[in-house]
Structure 1
């Protein structure tokens, strides 16, 4: 990954099992999965599991490129992990501010990229503008897109343990189900 602190900001735990979780910031199912990740890490143990967030843009979410770039920009900031958590939580908790009705209707269609970024900053409390426009964030965004495509990931959330996609792992599962599917139960 091109930016060291970004990699650290998107990684939780330090165990030998590695769970890549592919998330799209305006996807309600990604939000549901994201909310369970801290409990999963606690239950599995930080010394047994590493969770790596992979931020994935999806074309049917109209402002997905802006929201994914905002998350990745946050990952490059000092205290990037906290910044990422604030930005993701703000977007997930206020999805209607970032996703038009039925993906294509309503007043949100009049929003500009700058307005979307401003709304993310306002709701998250994280100043993103300087990082958002950095070239290395473009490199980071392309890396995340390539990584997902190289691993056959097209939807979110998708879970990949040690390089193998777990097709039956879902945001609707309980954390106890996840633990079992990951070999911790």
Structure 2
């Protein structure tokens, strides 16, 4: 009975800690304590079960978490986003540039976890990659049909944890540039690779 109760408690706290964005700290503390306990008491099976249920709680929440953006479909919102990369296209007829981004704040409220999205901006404006911006936009769903190759774009976006996209309606306000060294390196590498492939 004690084992079942403790497993349930650790699992429940794991879900709560993920929702309030301190799962990493919780996992690290529990893992350290259980590792010490394993060395001291040799209770391998019990500690492995606890760790397994902690990981299970993370997987359960991560893959079943609801999109915050979906709640605002059809609305114009003010939001803060991290611009990760630009989507290059060979279609010159479109009036928009599209960017992969993560939303960190909506209507002045900070999200517990960053949410992936695609931001569409008029071609006359350009967003700096690896920057954090404040901007307004209309939230749209990702309902796209299958093409002749049977490629389902909606399912593809969902696999990337993208449940809604945003069409910007205002000028971006720069908050921070070069927020991520890793992201900056990745974008430069992609740019060099794209230029190299064009020369082949």
TM-score range normalised by the length of the shorter chain: under 0.3
Please say which structure displays the higher CA radius of gyration: 2
Query: Whose strand proportion is higher, 1 or 2?
Result: 2
Query: Whose helix proportion is higher, 1 or 2?
Result: 1
Choose between structure 1 and 2 for higher RCO, CA contacts under 8 A separated by at least 6 residues.
1
What TM-score, normalized by structure 1, do the two folds share?
A: 0.21
What TM-score, normalized by structure 2, do the two folds share?
A: 0.20
